[in-house]
Structure 1
Amino acid sequence: PVWARKPGAANRQGFSNSDVLYLITPDRFANGDPDNDAVEGMLELPDRANKGGRHGGDIAGIRQHLDYIADLGFTAIWLNPVLENNMKTYSYHGYSTTDYYRVDPRFGTNEDYRQLALDARRKGIGLIMDMIVNHCGLEHWWMRDLPTSDWINQWPTYQETNHRKTLLQDPHASERDKKIFTDGWFVPTMPDLNQRNELLAEYLTQNSIWWVEYLGLAGIRMDTYPYPDMYYMSDWAKRLTTEYPNLNIVGEEWFEAPTITSYWQRGKINPNGYEPNLPSVMDFPLQAALTAALTNPESWKTGWITLYETLAHDFLYPDPDNLVIFPDNHDMSRIFTQLNEDFDLYKMAMACMLTMRGIPQLYYGDEILMANPESGDHGLIRSDFPGGWPGDKVNGFTGEGLTDQQKEARDFLKKLLHWRQNAPAVHAGRLVHFVPENGVYVYFRLHDAQKIMVVFNKNAAPETLDLTRFAEI
């Protein structure tokens, strides 16, 4: 059916610096409807014993625990993709789309997704949709009869992308290498889409607009942002932000140098003339710098200075305050694991994320110290949230069975999150930081209505600060 557009839909407000995002892998959060674990016509059956299998988490489970998320103090949720992934194996993650207009029935229905968005908004929580235009799943229905021969990027024999992120900026790069990066496939089960095909490009863009309208989205997270045709991505972002001027969109560019990540943010003047229209980028450089700063000893080149000098590169970004910052996500080890399960360092990481410039995103379970000490296998990183399944001996939602340290972590994070909701200096204040000295790093957030001083001390013993050093503040 054709629905009338809601009044003011074009002026919807996207997520912003006043928000904190809670990232959820739906299959691993909570099983709210066991009846949809196995669905006729879906190729992969549930197998909770398999770390790479489907475990049964769904949209119903998320809806049932929105109060938990709101009570912690989060104001937006980003879900890993929930569209149909009718693949034979390893489909739980959601990144092998087989129908761009249908929610995977093992997660629920399109209406369930819409009701999640409505329920969340009533609780002051916006919904951010994870989108993928770089590739689809091999079992997508159009793969049986491609609309055009150039609908996907085809090669004489299978060609995988080289994942060399500097190629599009490199003035010396070969055209062959650039083509392999852009047109090569991620894996054999993910056909690489050709956005230079005008019909496909229009289909993908209209699909994005449809979901924004249908769900009333607060934002979009675009997967593998530099891999599709770069000029299509510029056009896609421009059309979305022209239609929705206040919608926030963040792109994934997993590279640990701001010289590369800044290339994609709207307003950047690039030497090669490329005009990006993407409002926000995932701040992978800051994530890497934070873990290095916390885990390496203090020296001239290591420790807090790593974080300090990474932030010094903010001049490369047109809008560093709109970057999405994070201690971990679904593709890397849990922050507690990265910090070698050092609770003091964990608390410093959380405090930094929630007082730093940018828009923070935490991963489900960070609040109860979920970890993956066995290995970096994605199936372990994305472990089931305790209490999300009947019979779980530990319940992270109620606190039953949590250790004292886990409870302390949850309470610490909750206190910070609620404090942050009413901290204008963190939302919109200027960041001023001072060169780290003796294992101590100090920065300020400055706003007309509020001034905040943040002090981190990695030393085992207390340090005395000479406050005259900060007299300019």
Structure 2
Amino acid sequence: MVGILRACILFALTSLSLAASADEWRSRSIYQLLTDRFAIQGDAGAICDPSKGLRCGGSWQGVIGHLDYIKDLGFDAVWISPVVSNLEGGTKYGQAYHGYWTRDIYSLNSHFGDSDSLKELSAALHSRGMYLMVDVVVNHMALIPNQPGGEIQSNADFNYSSLTFPNAEDYHPFCWVEDYNNQTQVEQCTLGDSSVALVDIDTENSSIVEQLNDWIHGLVGDYAIDGIRIDTVKHVRKDFWPDFVKAAGVFSIGEILIGDVDYLSPYTQVIDSVLDYPGYFALVSAFSKPGGNLAGLIDIATQTQNKYKQGAFMTGSFLENHDNPRFQSMTNDLALVKNAMAYSFVTDGIPILYYGQEQGYRGGNDPNNREAMWLSGFQTSGMPLVAHVQGLNKARKLAMSVNMDFLTTPMKFLPQADPMALAISKPPMLALLTNAGQDANGEHSWNISGVFSANEEVEDVLTCTSLRMDGDGNLVVFSDGGMPRDVFLDMDSKNSGQLKPSSSTIGFLPVSQQVILDMLPHMSNLDYLHITDIVGGNECMGRKDIVQSIRLSELSFKRAEWTGALVTFVAAQSKLKKLELDEVEFTYSHSRPIDLPTLSQFIGTTSLLPHLSGMNGLVALDVVSYTSLSDLKCGLVPTLRHLTFSRNPPPEDDVDAFFQLIALRCPFLTQLVGICLPTHDRTPIHQALIYMKDLAVMDVGFTRWSVTVLLGKMVASELKIYATGLQIPGNSFEWVYNDRTRSWEIIT
């Protein structure tokens, strides 16, 4: 194809609901937003005063327009407001802009958009490999009493006819929740007040329970929802939840707004996950002022690990949300803010970030903590907290790609002599946090021992600095202006149980090896593959062309996760070599597209074979013999396939139409990685996902990036990309080329 200067990975995901399980959500990081306040279509300067509690015009289409902003922050799941129809009109507290004042569960909130818009949002998220989480409310519905502000004595003081459940007997007998130590009252009495009452649905009524279960099943299916956040969980009897969650069929995380681990613990037996409110309160106490209560944070985290069904692994860890004051309303100390933000990303749970936190929003209590995001301009350049969040997400995903057990390895707090120092070990990650504050002058430090080996070198992947242990494996790190030394990774990966490069691994480039490209002189001017795409998106490496990427410093290729999709770019013949005794060579011949060594030579049997037995193979797009747009064929291909573009490809001005057609013909396609034009290399539909760390958490077909071997060649206007996906039946196999079928096959 004329003008194509890139060969990338071909990779596809289903854009239908991923029916994501709890284990699959474990690897995600979640961006929470209020639909009405996140993004609007049209005037980006539209005024929105959160203190008035009025609708400001945010919509699902607005969210779609800024998904790339969220993805660029490093998030791969988005939690949106409840989607159903709400109370209309004004109240003492404003309007139901937030979505929590449910009126009719069978109608969508028209202020946010229509059914097609919500489906478009779901598809747009899936097209980026992201999950959709929807907030749901089943405890109550919202009503203005017959006499607003007057005394309410019974259900007769309400007119229920406008609600999904239109009869007085569909609700518990009226009473206000006044004693939160009385669980029956908590579960069966009404929240709110005489201006807006949140009338309590009778969730003991079997017909209502059945209706609610049917509704959530349909909602999830209709809009390809991947997970649900459940509001006011503690206000419904515990034995209601298992059937409701089962009916949803996707991951569920519940809100139980209390700081008591013992109170929350039983709920972890009936739903997948809970928001970590005990951890939230302890986190605020620890970091909202210099010298806060770190011991209390450690105590709560330890209780969580010991008392919850799955420890802390499935908790939602957060610093801000729509119900609590923004953290920066409590402190202006940037060092404390960065340390507190880092905690959610280095603990055992699933990190959740509330929209605007990365922009430095400072709103206090509800409603002031619900500012309009569009007034920030969605700025990223020069925004210190944006960069901080991006780094935290990258570090977490990097740790996942290095250590397959990272997500199920419980964090440990390393004892520190400094009362303002917090050291969290979660191999291969070591997070060093402090609540000394930005005025700290360097007298605070962390003492690290018993984690790394003698003379071992470690790297702070956020600041791109490296440190070396002493001869006893100890290290003293001094605080710099109270900032976190957020994440260290064991450069030699000796203590983390992850995959490691072997002497026969061509895809991995350990420090002792170099790659020779015969065609280097011809490639030096090509922005061939972004270096961040090749080596895992680590900021330490910057953005360089292919030649520079291969000549990076020793630090750059010290770990297995920095796996380059090393491609032969062919004019006549090109070779990729490793300078080792067991030299492996790729050669181009006219009789075969690429001569491959056996699989065992290519990826190294000693380090990888034990981890391959459970792989399902690469899910790929199958475009066969493309000669015109009408010839496009799509399919999920679990075994080796190839695609060929003819010598008469579409002109470059047809590229947009080409990708639009793929989106229509292949609704499961989320990323075209392998067709990257210079002018289209960052557009959503085919943004290159060569991040090996990202592939590790896609949960599509395979779960280890190490099984993916990507080879390509480009000759004149013809592009052939071979995406190999393996269904591994055993521990002995090799690839052979079948001349009759003109395809690679696995021989076991």
Q: TM-score, normalised by structure 2?
A: 0.51
> 2:232 aligns to what SS in structure 1?
coil
Distance 1:262 1:411 in 2: 35
Q: 1:408 to 1:209 in 2, by over 3 A?
A: same
Q: CA deviation at 1:86?
A: 3.4
Q: Distance in 2 between matches of 1:326 and 1:303?
A: 18
Q: Which residue of 2 aligns with 1:421?
A: 397
**1:258 correspondence with 2:265:** no
| Cα distance in structure 2, aligned partners of 1:94 and 1:64 | 21
Partner SS for 2:279? helix
* Contact 1:47–1:55 under 8 Å retained in 2: yes
Contact 1:305–1:435 (8 Å) recurs in 2? no
Q: What displacement does 1:346 show?
A: 0.9
Aligned length: 406
Partners of 1:422 and 1:288 in 2: how far apart? 28
Alpha carbons of 1:10 and 1:72: their partners in 2 closer, same or farther (altered >3 Å)?
Answer: closer
2:39 maps to 1:63: no
- The amino acid across from 2:31 in the alignment is Y
1:96 aligned partner: 101
Q: Residue 191 of structure 1 aligns to a residue in which SS?
A: strand
Specify the structure having the higher radius of gyration (Cα). Answer: 2
TM-superposed CA distance for 1:429, in Å, is 2.9
1:150 equivalenced with 2:151 (yes/no): no
Which residue type is aligned with residue 19 of structure 1?
A: R
Instruction: Determine whether 1:124 maps to 2:123.
Output: no
Structure 1 residues 26-425: aligned runs within 5 Å: 26-32=35-41, 51-89=52-90, 90-138=95-143, 142-143=161-162, 148-155=167-174, 159-162=175-178, 164=180, 166-168=181-183, 178=184, 180-187=185-192, 188=194, 189=196, 190-240=198-248, 244=249, 247-266=250-269, 277-296=270-289, 298=291, 303-313=293-303, 314-319=305-310, 320-338=312-330, 340-372=331-363, 375-376=364-365, 378-387=366-375, 394-397=376-379, 407-424=383-400, 425=403
Structure 2 counterpart of 1:61, one-letter code: G
Distance 1:467 1:354 in 2: 20
Aligned equivalents of 1:415, 1:408: Cα separation in 2: 11
Instruction: Give 1:457's aligned amino acid.
Output: T
Greater mean alpha carbon deviation, residues 288-297 or residues 71-80: 288-297
Deviation at 1:291?
1.2
> Compared with structure 1, are the counterparts of its residues 153 and 358 closer, same or farther at alpha carbon in structure 2 (3 Å cutoff)?
same
1:456 to 433, 437, 456: 433
**Displacement of 1:146:** 5.6
Cα gap change, 1:91 to 1:369, in 2 (>3 Å):
same
Relative to 1, partners in 2 of residues 1:436 and 1:295: Cα closer, same or farther, differing over 3 Å?
farther
After superposition, the CA RMSD in angstroms is 2.7
Maintained 8 Å contact 1:304/1:436: no
**Distance of aligned partners of 1:61 and 1:397 in 2 relative to their CA distance in 1, 3 Å threshold:** farther
In 1, the alpha carbon distance for the partners of 2:378 and 2:208 equals: 43
- What is the CA distance between 1:250 and its match in structure 2? 0.5
For residues 445 and 53 of structure 1, what CA distance do their matches in structure 2 show?
44
Alpha-carbon distance in structure 1 between the residues aligned to 2:263 and 2:137:
21
Cα offset, 1:254, TM superposition: 0.6
Amino acid aligned to 2:273: S
Distance 1:250 1:145, change over 3 A: closer
Aligned counterparts of 2:132 and 2:408: Cα–Cα separation in 1? 22
Does the 8 Å CA contact 1:333/1:381 hold for their aligned counterparts? Answer: yes
Give unmatched runs, 5+ long, in structure 2.
1-13, 145-158, 454-494, 496-748
Residues 84 and 97, structure 1, Cα contact 8 Å, conserved in 2: yes
- The one-letter amino acid of 1:206's match is D
C-alpha distance in structure 1 between counterparts of 2:29 and 2:290, whole Å? 30
Task: Show structure 1 runs of 5+ residues with no match.
Answer: 1-5, 38-45, 169-177, 267-276, 388-393
2:53 and 2:127 mapped to 1: Cα distance?
34
- Following TM superposition, by how much is the alpha carbon of 1:310 offset from its aligned partner in structure 2, in angstroms? 0.9
Q: Distance in 2 between matches of 1:437 and 1:49?
A: 44
Change (3 A) 1:396 1:219: same
Write the distance in 2 (CA, Å) between the matches of 1:456 and 1:304.
Answer: 10
SS at structure 2 position matched to 1:354: helix
Change in Cα spacing, 1:234 to 1:351, as seen in structure 2 (3 Å) is same
> In structure 1, what is the equivalent of residue 709 of structure 2?
none
Question: Is contact 2:172-2:202 (8 Å) kept?
Answer: yes
What secondary structure, in the 3-state scheme, does the structure 1 residue paired with 2:320 have? coil
- In 2: Cα distance, 1:386 partner to 1:91 partner: 20
The one-letter amino acid paired with 1:24 is L
What is the aligned partner in structure 1 of residue 31 from structure 2?
Answer: 22
Which string of whole-angstrom CA distances, capped at 9 and with x for unpartnered residues, describes residues 334-366 of structure 1? 12223x121001111122111111001010011
2:62 aligned partner, one-letter code:
G
User: Partner amino acid for 1:152?
Assistant: Y
How far off its partner does 1:73 sit? Answer: 0.8
Q: Secondary structure of 2:235's partner? A: coil
> Where is the helix percentage greater, Structure 1 or Structure 2?
1
Instruction: Please say if residues 327 and 335 of structure 1, whose CA atoms lie closer than 8 Å, have aligned partners that are also in contact.
Output: yes
Shift of 1:413: 1.2
**SS of corresponding position for 1:379:** coil
State the distance in 2 between where 1:295 and 1:197 align: 45
Q: CA deviation at 1:47?
A: 7.6
Letter in 2 for 1:30: A
CA distance in 2, matches of 1:48, 1:456: 35
Cα deviation for residue 16 of structure 1 reads 1.8
Contact 1:295–1:303 (8 Å) recurs in 2: no
Q: Could you tell me whether the CA contact under 8 Å between 1:285 and 1:310 is conserved in 2?
A: yes
The 3-state SS of whatever aligns with 2:234 is coil
Change (3 A) 1:78 1:9: closer
Q: 1:259 and 1:144 mapped to 2: Cα distance?
A: 36
Which of 445, 466, 473 is residue 426 of structure 2 equivalent to? 445
User: In the TM superposition, what is the alpha-carbon distance from 1:328 to its structure 2 partner?
Assistant: 0.9
Measure how far apart 1:22 and its partner are: 0.5
SS in 1 for 2:191: coil
Output the CA distance in 1 between the equivalents of 2:15 and 2:52: 45
Percent identity, aligned pairs only?
23
Distance 1:283 1:151, change over 3 A: same
Residues 163 and 230 (structure 1 numbering): CA distance in 2 closer, same or farther, change over 3 Å? Answer: farther
| 1:379 counterpart letter in structure 2 | P
Tell whether the 8 Å contact from 1:347 to 1:409 is kept in structure 2 after alignment: yes
Structure-to-structure mapping, 1:429-440, within 5 angstroms: 429-438=409-418, 439-440=420-421
Contact 2:20–2:251 (Cα < 8 Å) also in 1: no
The answer to whether the Cα contact below 8 Å between 1:330 and 1:381 also exists between their aligned partners in 2 is: yes
Q: 1:183 to 1:109 in 2, by over 3 A?
A: same
Q: Which amino acid aligns with 1:385?
A: M
